[in-house]
Amino acid sequence: MKAAPAEFRALCHRHRLAATHQRQVIYEAVMSLPGHPSPEDIYEKARKSIPSISLATVYKNIRAFLDKGLLQEVSLHHGSLRVDANHDPHHHLVCTRCRSIMDLDEAEMVPPRFRQKLPRGFKVLRISVDVLGICAECASKKARRA
């Protein structure tokens, strides 16, 4: 087996994760892929090093990396489609623990604006701001438990 670079071992140790070979290969796959890869992309890449690796292991490790803050989810998924009939300009407070969604009136935020003109020929339709964090209810639950 190829020697694991010290940096990865240190990274894992810092985050209290066992430095396994699979974990390292998955991590390197993520880092080597451009843009915002999907679990399937990462799986395909990791398979080049470990053909026997399982997709579930990839999912489990992505989850671990996300939990530890090594990676971030591009736009948080709520488990199923969530529909919004509110046409007033507004944003959302999203609890990362219970996934609850609350409206946040646009007036409560400084409206997001671009410094430059439209970037890279992109035609903007709307700007969606998700304020991610812990809702009051979850925060109190956690405090009580701790």
Partner DNA sequence: TATTAGATAATAACTATTGTCATTCATGAA
Partner DNA sequence: TTCATGAATGACAATAGTTATTATCTAATA
Residues near a second copy, by CB under 8 A = 30-31, 35-40, 42, 62, 65-66, 70-85, 87, 92-96, 101-102, 104, 107-110, 112-116, 119-136, 139
Nearer to DNA, 22 or 106 (CB): 22
Give the number of residues written for the chain.
146
- Whole-number Cα distances in Å, 53 to 97, 129, 132: 30, 37, 33
Which residues ranging from 34 to 73 are in contact with DNA (CB under 7 A)? Answer: 38-40, 50, 52-57, 59-61, 63-64
In this structure, are residues 135 and 95 in contact, taking their beta carbons and an 8 Å threshold? yes
Rounded Cα distance, 25 and 20, in Å: 9
Q: Which is nearer to a second copy, 3 or 85 (CB)?
A: 85
Q: Could you list the residues that contact Mn ion (CB under 5 A)?
A: 84, 86, 103
